[in-house]
Structure 1
Amino acid sequence: MRRIAILNQKGGVGKTTTTVNLGAALARAGRRVALVDLDPQGNLSTHLGLEIESGEPSSYTVLSGETDFAQTLRPTTTAGLHVIPTSIDLSGAELELATLDQRETILRRSIDAWERGAIERTGAPPAEYVLFDCPPSLGLLSLNALVAAREVFVALQTEFLALQGMTRLLEVVELIRAQLNPSLQVTGILPCLYDSRLRLAREILGELRQYFPEQCFRRTIGTNVKLAEAPSYAQHVFDYAPDSSGARDYRELAEEVIGQERRSPTGANSAARAAQTAQP
């Protein structure tokens, strides 16, 4: 079961859009996918029409120990795609969890129990992918995702400071790898909101591919109005605009992600070494 944190400490770079639409694309390809909304803003939950009230089962109740992972998952209109939504309760979770022992491993322990239980009952893991939509910060919520995950996909815009931000993110991943989660690896860098008409965007994409040739996905996610419109209809892009360029981009990204399973992923160490020489 692949556990992938979609990460960037900056907001508005396409993390939630990627989590939703990559998850939908994988499910449409016949894979079983669980999405976890760890952003207190709840954009992933809203995107899929799963807005919930305070006190209902959510990522907050999983982190607080009130519900287990399995009973918190909700189905979507797409076969094979399930979601753990969030509520306003999550906004106070970092302060509440700060005093707990082993607070950074709460989510991992819950997912481990879910996976172990399914294997004991059926002989197979309960899903093939778990995607974590991380908040735009590197606090306790993101830390729980990074400790629970085995992989990191970094979503970023092709802007001037992208390489500098990558350096910081990879340093954080390497620190967590060394101290809390030895299996954590950066296996994907995804340029989002890419506009090939802009010279700067093309130059930054070239820099990313130069410094991170094995991690950078071949498929970029272009700027597309349909991707921006889909959340207002509580749909992923394949339901809202299946023939759009946004749907094509995420369909091809899913094919590339599945293709990663036919080769050995590149570890975070090599990505971190490349980041040390990257200058925006």
Structure 2
Amino acid sequence: MPNPDQTDPPQPRRPAPHVAIANHKGGVGKTGTAQGIITAAAEAGHRVLAVDMDAQGNLTRRLRALVPEAPEDRAAASLASVLQNPALGEIARILVPCGYSDQTYRDRITIAPAHLDQELLSLTAGTAASEKRLLRAMQGVVDDFDLIVIDCPPNLLSHQIDMAWSAADVLILPCEPGYDSVEAARRIHERVDRDRHTLNPDLAVAGIVVNRYRPNLKIHQQREQDILNIRGTEHVCPERIHELVALKNQEELAQPLRADRTDGKKAADQFQSVYAWMNQQIKTVMEKTG
């Protein structure tokens, strides 16, 4: 008989999923989607590491990352410095908290900030295993988090993309219901299918989030169907992110959606639904890949 005083040994903590937010086309709300998912995760009580792999640094600004005030000090305190030739876990030396006033976000969101000098990393792309630098820099450090979100530049073939995707388990694709955006999402799928074996054999597209959707527009309905046709209905988040004032204010004012007094609650609730769907998709995808 089992001993009633005996307790089960603690189960090993499941590694935090590494999610890259990507689309080949710029201006589709990629960083806004990353921002919405990150804040939704924090609201759900999860600790998030936001990795800004876009040299423009939009996610860094929008999360109000507490970076050095002096411009000359910012490159050394960013991924531009870390990714030149990182030691194991070196990303830890540049991590900073979110600067939102609400303690919920400050306590649960940590940022690896970007800098324009990240563009120069392409000069080192030919060195051995250079695409693994982000993965190397994060090793061990990510154990303290529940979710890793990597915001990617709007590229398809670049050294920053290779580093981001090599460090990711899955991709989430924000996609506007417009022709160019849909075709860009197709190209992401094609590159993952084509290069997975050389870049990251376990990488998969977890799904697409339809962004800036206006349900009354016939063209949006048509493009929505085009998005569903890429890989099927189950591949697309059922929650459509509508074009709301709060989403624009999130971007312009660098604030969480719930801070907005127009339709912030509606927008934030939509991202809670996106986050729940994303977690289920990640679980499904990672079970398939083993």
Structure 2, unpaired ranges of 5+: 1-15
* Separation of aligned partners in 2, 1:40 and 1:216: 28
Q: Pick closer, same or farther for the CA change 1:204–1:94 going to 2, 3 Å.
A: same
1:91-102 equivalence runs, <5 A: 91-95=119-123, 97-102=124-129
Out of 158, 179, 184, which is 2:177 matched to?
A: 158
- 2:199 matched to 1:180? yes
Instruction: Mark the CA change 1:237 to 1:243 in structure 2 (over 3 Å): closer, same or farther.
Output: closer
1:128 aligns with 2:128: no
Alignment of 1:1-280 (within 5 A): 1-50=16-65, 52=68, 53=71, 54-65=74-85, 68-76=90-98, 77=100, 78=105, 79-95=107-123, 97-115=124-142, 125-138=143-156, 139-211=158-230, 212-241=232-261, 243-260=264-281, 264-265=284-285
Tell me the matched-pair count. Answer: 258
Give the distance between the partners of 1:268 and 1:134, measured in 2 at CA: 24
Structure with the greater alpha carbon radius of gyration = 2
* Runs of 4+ residues over 6 Å off in structure 1: 266-269
Any conservation in 1 of the 2:166–2:199 contact (CA below 8 Å)? yes
Q: 1:163/1:55 Cα in 2 relative to 1: closer, same or farther (>3 Å)?
A: closer
Q: For residues 268 and 223 of structure 1, do their structure 2 counterparts lie closer, same or farther at Cα, with a shift above 3 Å needed?
A: farther
The alignment's TM-score, normalised by the length of structure 1, stands at 0.84
Q: Kindly indicate whether the alpha-carbon contact (under 8 Å) linking 1:10 and 1:136 is maintained by their aligned counterparts in 2.
A: yes
Give the C-alpha shift of residue 207 in structure 1.
2.8
Distance 1:266 1:100, change over 3 A: closer
Report Cα offsets for 1:9-43 as digits up to 9, x if no partner: 11100110011111110111011111111111111
Q: Which ranges of structure 1 fall in alignment gaps of 5 or more residues?
A: 116-124, 270-280
| CA distance in 2 between partners of 1:134 and 1:83 (Å) | 14
Shift of 1:188: 1.6
Q: Distance in 2 between matches of 1:8 and 1:75?
A: 26
Q: Show CA shifts across 1:91-137 (max 9, x none).
A: 32222x2242211111111223424xxxxxxxxx2112111110111
Contact kept in structure 2, 1:174 and 1:268, CA below 8 Å: no
> Identity of counterpart residues, as a percentage?
26
Match of 2:179, SS state, is coil
The letter for the 2-side match of 1:103 is S
1:260 CA displacement: 3.5
TM-score (norm 2): 0.81
Moved more, 82-91 or 184-193: 82-91
**Structure 2 CA distance, aligned partners of 1:20 and 1:135?**
14
**Given that residues 196 and 202 in structure 2 are in contact (C-alpha distance below 8 angstroms), is that contact kept between their aligned partners in structure 1?**
yes
Superposed CA RMSD:
2.3
Aligned to 1:274: none
User: 1:121 maps to which residue?
Assistant: none
SS in 1 for 2:235: coil
Structure 2 counterpart of 1:92, one-letter code: L
User: Structure 2: how far apart are the matches of 1:225 and 1:55?
Assistant: 33
One-letter amino acid of the counterpart of residue 72, structure 1 = I
Letter paired with 2:76: E
Give the SS at the match of 2:284: coil
| Shift in Å, 1:66 | 5.9
